[in-house]
Every structure is written in structure tokens, then in C-alpha cells.
Amino acid sequence: MSAAADILKERLGGLAPRLALVLGSGLGGLAEQVEDAIRVRYADIPGFPQSGVSGHAGELVAGVFADTHVIMLAGRAHYYEDGDAAAMRPLLEALAGIGIEALILTNAAGSLQADMPPGSVMLIEDHINFSGTNPLIGETSEQRFVGMSEAYDLTLRAALENAAEKAGVKLHRGVYMWFSGPTFETPAEIRMARMLGADAVGMSTVPEVILARFLGLRVAACSVITNLAAGMATGELSHQETKNMAPLGGEKLTKILGRFLHDSASGRVTS
Ligand code: HPA
């Protein structure tokens, strides 16, 4: 086990979570709802990412949510921060090291579908990595040749769809295309993305999915749609708009995840 995993295990005491969630924009509120919360600052764990968007320091919140032991990760490293696609690797390795089996990732994204407007939530069924980079470049073990045909776990996807239905929230489905950022896309890039089969675009998640699959974690991911993608609406895109709009879909996704965790407590999701 890594030094980071050792420290984390000690900090968690008797908690034995098998599920971890990465909270994207607009979902930070979910971490506030964790009971008996143990909070660990990323800064206290070697190798954990030190930066974060909008100046928020990263924090790991472990505890009980809907009768389930969980870890919630508020704050993630993005490729655009310093060009390191593997910046989340030590954190994900530590999670795998302490027994996490499933990882649910969330993010903010732009929609390529007019009928999936801001405020929608999309279950990611597959992704397109057209960035030219990969967090496993430089990895030397045979395990680097990770199969990606079912990167997004079918059982977890079904459980999330089920949870959405029970929560009465519409859950779109689609393909997420990763752009490096930090610029937003051009309208021409969005037309290309559409031709390639993308339904949503964003600047995160894909490197983490690749790393998590490499580490043997089961993965699911959801996007909160904050805007129509470049060229689809008038006006310029901005990070401020992302932050303003994220809570709308974030609330819906919080309901879905609450239900999902509740169901997973009865063992139907992760086992
Ligand atoms: N593009 C990339 N990333 C995003 C967007 C977008 O339109 N909206 C929120 N994150």
C-alpha cells in the first residue's frame, strides 16, 4: 500500500467505504450531508493534488450517507492546470489501496443536444479522448493496455438509471468528449465533436476514468449540463456561467445520487 493509502486508512478509523464520489461543480453540497464526517485535506496527504478550480483547496470527506459508508472528494485536479493528465493518480491509487471498489465521477459539461438544455443531467455511457494524451503514457507495466470497451460499468449505470427514475428526475444518456481546456471550444470544434458522436463536452473526468479502470475500479459518471456548447446559443461562454448554472442540474444529480446510495446500502449496487 502507498504511504498515502496508509495515512488515509489511519485517518478513516473504523470506516470501510467501498464507494467514492468525485464531486464536480455544483455538487459540493453533497459533502455537507455526510454524517459523522471525517475531513481530510488533500494538503495533508502526500501526492494528493494541491490545486483546484476557483481557489478551493481539495478535501476528502468520509462518513455515512444514506446508511452507506462513502468517501466524497471535493476538489479535483484538471489537466489544464499544469498539463499533467495523471495528476489524480496518487489519489485514485490511495482509494484503491484502502478498499474502494467503485468510483462515481461528476462534472459540469456543455451540451451538444438542443433537447438537453442547461439544468439537465446526463449519464455518461462512453467517452471520446481526442486530446492526444493519456494519463497512462509512461506507465511501464503490462497493465497499461487497459480495455476501454466497457469503461462505464453496466451495473452501476443501471443502478443510476433506476435511482433517477425513483427520484423522478430525467436522466439523459450520452457520450462525453474530453477537451483539454482551459479555453472553451470553438463553434467549429463543437461541429467536429458532433460529427464524431459527442453529446456533451467538458474538461475533466476522462483521465480519471482511464486511471480508475487501470486500477481495477468500477466506474460511472454523470454530467451536469451548464450550457449549450459553443456556437449553439448567443453570447460567450464563461466559467462564471458554469458556476452559476451548475447548482440547477446539481440539485437533480444530488437527488439521483442520494437515491443511488440509499439503494447501494442494501447491497444491490456494489456487490
Ligand atoms: N465546454 C467545456 N467544458 C465545460 C463546458 C463547455 O461548454 N461547460 C462546462 N464545462
Residues of the domain holding 71: 3-265
Q: What is the pLDDT of residues 168-224, one digit of tens each?
A: 999 999 999 999 999 999 999 999 999 999 999 999 999 999 999 999 999 999 999
> What are the angstrom distances between the C-alpha of 98 and each of 13, 19, 102, 121, 265?
11, 11, 12, 30, 19
Cβ 109 under 6 angstroms from ligand 1: yes
Instruction: Give the model's confidence band at 234: pLDDT under 50 very low, under 70 low, under 90 confident, else very high.
Output: confident
Say if 232 falls within a structural domain: yes
> What are the angstrom distances between the C-alpha of 161 and each of 97, 132, 171?
29, 32, 7
The domain total for the chain is 1
Cell numbers placing 259: 437515491
Q: Ligand 1 mean position to 20 CA, how many Å?
A: 24
Q: What is the pLDDT of residues 93-138, one digit of tens each?
A: 999 999 999 999 999 999 999 999 999 999 999 999 999 999 999 9
Say if 75 falls within a structural domain: yes
Cβ 242 under 6 angstroms from ligand 1: yes
Cβ 220 under 6 angstroms from ligand 1: no
Say if 136 falls within a structural domain: yes
Closest residue by CA, ligand 1 atom 3: 202
Q: Is the pLDDT of residue 265 over 80?
A: no
Say if 249 falls within a structural domain: yes
Say if 225 falls within a structural domain: yes
Cβ 108 under 6 angstroms from ligand 1: yes
Q: Ligand 1 mean position to 75 CA, how many Å?
A: 17
Say if 270 falls within a structural domain: no
Say if 271 falls within a structural domain: no
Q: Which atom of ligand 1 is nearest to the CA of 179?
A: 2
3-state percent breakdown (helix, strand, coil) of the chain, nearest 5: 35, 25, 40
CA distance 202 to 237: 13
Q: Ligand 1 mean position to 71 CA, how many Å?
A: 26
Burial class of residue 53 (count of CB atoms within 10 Å of its CB; 0-12, 13-18, 19+): buried
**Which pTM value belongs to this model?**
0.95
Cβ 110 under 6 angstroms from ligand 1: yes
- What is the model's pLDDT at position 271? 46
- What is the model's pLDDT at position 235? 86
Instruction: Tell me the HSE value of 16 on the side-chain side, using a 13 A CA sphere.
Output: 1
Closest residue by CA, ligand 1 atom 7: 110
CATH of the domain at 38: 3.40.50.1580
Give the start-end residues of each E strand in the chain. Answer: 19-23, 35-41, 59-65, 68-74, 102-111, 121-129, 172-178, 200-202, 218-228
Window from 23-32, 33-42, 187-196 with minimum mean pLDDT: 23-32
Residue-by-residue DSSP string for 77-90: --HHHHS-TTTTHH
242: nearest Cα among 118, 101, 56:
118
